[in-house]
Amino acid sequence: MIETAARKEIDSDALEQSDRVDFLRSYAFMGVHILALASLFTGVSVAAVVAMLITFWVRLFGITAGYHRYFSHRSFKTSRVFQFALAWLGASAGQNGPLWWVSHHRHHHRHADTGDDVHPPGLKGFWWAHAGWILSRRYDGYDKSLVRDLRRFPELRLLDQLHMLAPLSLGVVLFAVGWWLEVAFPALGTTRWQMVGWGLFVSTMLLYHVTFLVNSVAHMWGRRRYATNDQSRNNWWVALATLGEGWHNNHHRYPSSERQGFYWWELDVTHYVLKAMERFRLVWDLRVPPATAYRKKSPPSPPPSHLPPSAPGRPGT
């Protein structure tokens, strides 16, 4: 849903374009907000609110476990089929395709909070880090060299090009379910437009801003357990809102760790769900923080980089 008329893959030298806002992208971004507000006029029902909560939390997991912990940092392994399922789930959140998302995130880890960073709040302000960078022409494409490990999968390349199919298909499903509820259970007071409005547009708007909190708030406010080469913070309320992504200083110090809440009181719902999936062999080889992470004085932070590729395969391979 964050989209331009023609999004093209570009090489790294093209990332030197200006930071001007892409108005087509802005219209799409604002359109989601307008349609989310318009959804209030469709009324509300228990079924619509339940749909909103389900589509919000499930798609957020697609971002936190899929786009972020798996594709960006390769912090666990899975099968090729489940890899695509995670990619589709992440794409359904309306935050562009997996290659675009991962390339920019890996670039961020290489240059966090410097002049070369994609969204440094300390240099460009809160709103740029929160959403402004997404609306600029400069970041319309992505550096293909940062996602060579993912580009070898044709299904991921195709999904990256056609990523709008994921949220659109969700809208179709919600419309169909709403129509069925409207006809079969009129006492619920649910309509097809309620289901689309609340289940797609309201939940997508919330997904935008909850996800963006990690780039803005978690680089400005919170505690710093580790002396990393950036301004990442551990922020408990961002962690609650993002299924555990708010333990951001932990993450920037040990980006290859699947677990981001290192202590029992650091709630990390994404980690808990992945551990449950591990029991059913949907995922495996979940990486954990090293023992040094729990020492009072952790070793100095290594130079930033994205992780080496870890291809999907059968359990134990």
Chain segment 150-159, per-residue pLDDT in tens: 999 999 999 9
Q: pLDDT value at position 140?
A: 82
* 249 domain residue, yes or no: yes
Higher pLDDT, 191 or 298: 191
Give the model's confidence band at 136: pLDDT under 50 very low, under 70 low, under 90 confident, else very high: confident
DSSP state of 146: G
Torsion of CA 52, 57, 61, 62, to 10 degrees: 0
| Confidence band, pLDDT 50/70/90 cuts, at residue 2 | low
pLDDT digits (tens, 9 = 90+) for 252-297: 999 999 999 999 999 999 999 999 999 999 999 999 999 999 986 6
How far, rounded to the nearest angstrom, does the alpha carbon of residue 35 sit from its chain's CA centroid?
A: 21
Query: Domain range for residue 40?
Result: 12-294
pLDDT confidence band for 230 (50 / 70 / 90): very high
Q: How much is the pLDDT for 138?
A: 83
In a domain, 157, yes or no: yes
Q: Is the pLDDT of residue 308 over 60?
A: no
Cα 75–Cα 81–Cα 84 angle in degrees, nearest 5: 70
User: 161 and 167 in contact (C-beta within 8 Å)?
Assistant: no
Determine which helix (DSSP H) or strand (DSSP E) holds 78, and give its type and residue range.
Answer: strand 77-78
Weakest-pLDDT range from 46-60, 108-122, 126-140 = 126-140
How much is the pLDDT for 25?
64
Q: How many domains does the chain fold into?
A: 1
**pLDDT at site 304:** 52
pLDDT at 315 over 50: no
Reading phi first (left if > 0) and then psi (alpha if -120 to 50, else beta), residue 94 is in left
Is 191 inside any structural domain?
yes
How far is Cα 297 from Cα 294, in angstroms, rounded to an integer?
8
Name residue, tokens 């399922």. Answer: 85
Q: Is the pLDDT of residue 6 over 60?
A: no
238 pLDDT more than 50: yes
Q: Tell me 92's DSSP state.
A: T
CA distance linking residue 185 with residue 65, whole number of Å:
35
pLDDT of residue 316 exceeding 80, the answer is no
In a domain, 110, yes or no: yes
Place of tokens 């689309």: 196
pLDDT at 42 over 90: yes
224 alpha-carbon distance from chain centroid: 23
Is-contact 146 107, C-beta < 8 A? yes
Q: What is the pLDDT of residue 300?
A: 59
pLDDT band at 28 (very low <50, low <70, confident <90, very high): confident
Residue 150, domain member (yes or no): yes
Torsion over CA of 71, 76, 82 and 86, rounded to 10 degrees? -40
Task: Report yes or no on 305 lying in a domain.
Answer: no
Give the H or E element holding residue 284.
Answer: strand 283-284
pLDDT band at 14; cut points 50, 70, 90 = very low
Q: What is the mean pLDDT of residues 208-224?
A: 98
Two tokens, residue 176: 């169909």
Helix (H) / strand (E) element for 283: namely strand 283-284
pLDDT for the residue 317: 34
Task: Kindly report the pTM of this predicted structure.
Answer: 0.89
Q: Which residue, chain included where needed, has tokens 């719902």?
A: 269
Q: Is 273 left (phi over 0), alpha (psi -120 to 50) or beta?
A: alpha
pLDDT of residue 13: 47
Q: Which of 126-135, 205-214, 245-254 has the lowest mean pLDDT?
A: 126-135
Separation CA 82–CA 87 (nearest Å)? 9
Confidence of residue 312 (pLDDT cuts 50, 70, 90): low
- pLDDT at residue 239, rounded to an integer: 99
> Which residues have C-beta within 8 Å of that of residue 303, sequence separation ≥ 6?
229
The answer to the question of residue 40 being in a domain is yes
Look at residue 170 in the predicted model and tell me its pLDDT: 98
240 pLDDT higher than 60: yes
| Distance of alpha carbon 126 from alpha carbon 269, whole angstroms | 26
Mean pLDDT over all residues of the chain? 90
Residue 315, in any domain of the structure: no
Does 186 have pLDDT greater than 60? Answer: yes
pLDDT at 254: 97
| Percent of the chain whose pLDDT exceeds 90 | 80
